[in-house]
Chain A
Amino acid sequence: MLPTFEPKILAFLCNWCSYAGADLAGVSRFQYPPNVRIVRVMCSGRISPRFVLKSFQEGADGVLIAGCHPGDCHYSKGNYYTRRRLTVLGKLLEHVGLDPRRFKVKWISASEGGKFADVVKEITEDVKKLGPQNSLKRVDENE
């Protein structure tokens, strides 16, 4: 039997809402795929477009970014800046031919453990169907 493709998903979660949401998902025992690797950041406003590009370069098949709902930001306006920046980044990635399903931004609050599990399920299934991401992945000469 051929080994099935297990995508690597990198998730950047904001400390105050989404990380707590992921925690809640764990505490509430919601099942979600183990393909996701979580990086905690203090605010979704911390996420620079180069984080996303670097993730894809280092071999992530999908990138998920989650922060507080607009208006709920712990630092009052961090996620508003993120919203502009990442909307444009999404358009750019789509323009150069990267499937938009590989790059997701979601607003997940600390009480939405179920939503976190659903989002992870959704992106994992999508990326599984799409297969490995090779357009931005680094070419390793040693391989």
Chain B
Amino acid sequence: MSEIEDKIREIAKKLLEEGKVKYFIGYAKGSDAFCAKPIIIDDPKDVDKLIWSPCCVNNLAVYLVDEIKKKPRRGEEPDLRPVGIIAKACDERGITVLLQENILPRERAYIIGIPCSGMAEPQKLEKLAGEKGISHKAIYDMHIREEENEFSFEAEGVKEALPRDEVLADKCKECFQHNPKECDIVIGESVENPQIEKYVTIKELEDMSLEDREKFWEKIFERCIRCNACKEVCPLCYCEECTVEKAKPMRWCSKSVDKSNNAFYHLMRAMHLVGRCIDCGECERVCPMGIPLRKLYKKLEKEAEELYGYEAGSSSEDVPLFAAFTNDDPDEFE
């Protein structure tokens, strides 16, 4: 792991010194060791702040959207140099969708791909550290490393090893594409893609009866406080004018927090993510109310694959799912 970290710093330094990139988006140490925070660096002196650990869960592709949306100040020449970005396989899929939808010109991003075999979920790490009785101060100084089949971390002179299966993020357990494709540079060796059962998250829900499912989602949607965190963190929710926000020409979805409007909000968001959601799991991670949003989007991912053989973010050359059709699409409508 530290080899990769050194390599990232080296590349970032070189790119920034040569002025090849405008700035560099990477990960820095967070307020505790469990969650790395995104960092934007424009000074080569700061490259030592960059880290790489099993805690780099964030999807950085969302900052590329911010970059594209930014308008230059009046009288200023726009700086069209690319932006350096670290991309795990899931981030890279997000970037691919942005390329596919012509939101991001390819030359505006310098993508540094890192094959990734799974990241640790901060909550799970924190819980396990608590069980092992490690103080909060120690947690800040902790070093987390990835070894063969476990994440090891050192704190207060104690070295603990946690089994991978217990701390691996849920989305990573279901990830079947570990290697980024659309990159300028790849750091680290490619990882073998695992043979796993897809869509285990929604299996339980699919086996439920219709009434049970209705009750399940009713309870979930009631919980939503409409903080819009899922929308803000999503790299693919880039619309300037969002259908669930705008009031003209028609207010489709009221901002009031109730069962019906919350359901509308989430279903509309889900419909907008069909064939686009790349399952980076950010929406679920940032949700303060613990809404299992992946259970909604994963279902649509499954349908897109089963009905149309479409996989989001597999190639920037693909025509988007709803912008294409064939004469022999499945037709249930008679």
Contacts and interface: CB of A to CB of B under 8 A. Distances in A.
A53 B267 contact: yes
B213 A95 contact: yes
A84 B308 contact: yes
Nearest to A65: B333
Nearest to B326: A80
B217 A96 contact: yes
A90 B300 CA distance: 11
A91 B307 CA distance: 11
Contacts of B1: none
Interface string B42-61: 00000000000000000000
Contact of B271 (A49, A57, A106): A49
Interface residues of B, number: 42
Contacts of B304: 88
Given A81-B322, A105-B333, A139-B258, A97 B264 contact: no
Interface string B306-328: 01100000000000011001010
A135 interface: yes
Contacts of A107: 333-334
B260 A70 contact: no
Contact of A138 (B260, B321, B327): B260
Interface in A105-131: 105-107
B252 A50 contact: yes
Contacts of A83: 325, 329, 331, 333
Contacts of B261: 57, 138
Nearest to B206: A95
A93 B217 CA distance: 11
A85 interface: yes
Given A49-B268, A50-B268, A85-B322, A92 B300 contact: yes
A136 interface: yes
Contacts of B260: 57, 136-139
B263 interface: yes
**Taking each of A49, A70, A84, which has the highest tally of chain B beta carbons within 10 Å of its own beta carbon?**
A84
A89 B214 contact: no
A92 B275 CA distance: 13
Contacts, number: 104
Contacts of A99: 210
| Residue of A49, A50, A71, A81 most packed against chain B (CB within 10 A) | A50
Contacts of B258: 138-139
B267 A88 contact: no
Contacts of A137: 260
B205 interface: yes
Given A87-B330, A106-B333, A138-B261, A92 B210 contact: no
Given A85-B322, A97-B213, A106 B334 contact: yes
Contacts of B218: 97, 135
Contacts of A57: 260-261, 264
B329 A96 contact: no
A24 interface: no
Interface centre among A80, A95, A98 (most CB of B within 10 A): A95
Contacts of A49: 267-268, 271
17 contacts: A49-B267, A50-B243, A50-B268, A53-B267, A54-B264, A83-B333, A84-B322, A87-B330, A87-B331, A88-B303, A91-B300, A95-B213, A97-B210, A97-B217, A105-B333, A106-B334, A135-B214
Q: Closest 3 A-B residue pairs measured CB to CB?
A: A97-B214, A80-B325, A97-B213
Interface of B: 202, 205-206, 210-218, 243, 252, 258-261, 263-264, 267-268, 270-271, 274, 296, 299-300, 303-304, 307-308, 321-322, 325, 327, 329-334
Interface of A: 49-50, 53-54, 57, 70-71, 77, 80-81, 83-99, 105-107, 135-139
Given A49-B268, A54-B252, 9 more contacts: A49-B267, A50-B271, A53-B267, A71-B327, A81-B322, A84-B321, A88-B307, A93-B267, A96-B263
